[in-house]
């Protein structure tokens, strides 16, 4: 199975990623990612319901190596990320989403 084999980058590949990390990250989002609106409903004290929504990026992949390449590139660009589930990584902070919006754009 594809997600069980080892995936690593050679030195020359890391040099290419370091030269153009935005392109590498955009490729991940365009292949296995999503940019959308997360909708949240919270119940506060007294049963009050609060609803809000915010944009976020989500990347899903079964391969831990591929997820690590995604998160390592986020780290290289100083983009905060969260491991949401075993296979899902999200970028939700407002400033990070705005930064990604400057170069990723909609999926084609």
* Residues 99, 26 contacting (CB under 8 angstroms): no
Place of tokens 């290419």: 16
Could you give the CA distance from residue 55 to residue 94 in angstroms, rounded to a whole number?
8
Alpha helices in the chain (DSSP H): 11-19, 21-32, 64-76, 94-101
Sequence ranges of the domains in the chain: 21-101
Could you confirm whether domain 21-101 is CATH 3.10.28.10?
A: yes
Could you give the CA distance from residue 50 to residue 3 in angstroms, rounded to a whole number?
39
Q: What is the pLDDT along the chain (108 residues), one digit of tens a residue?
A: 777 888 999 999 999 999 999 999 999 999 999 999 999 998 888 888 989 899 999 999 999 999 999 999 999 999 999 999 999 999 999 999 999 999 997 765
Provide CB contacts within 8 A for 44, sequence distance 6+.
50
């Amino acid at each position: 199975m594809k997600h069980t084999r080892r995936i690593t980058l050679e030195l020359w590949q890391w040099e290419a990623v370091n030269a153009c990390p935005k392109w590498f990250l955009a490729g991940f989002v365009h292949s296995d990612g999503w940019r959308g609106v997360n909708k949240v409903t919270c119940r506060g004290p007294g049963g009050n319901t609060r609803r809000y929504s915010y944009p976020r990026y989500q990347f899903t992949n079964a391969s831990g190596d591929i997820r690590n390449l995604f998160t390592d590139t986020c780290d290289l660009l100083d983009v905060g990320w969260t491991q949401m589930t075993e296979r899902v990584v999200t970028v939700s902070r407002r400033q990070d989403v705005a930064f990604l919006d400057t170069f990723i754009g909609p999926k084609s």
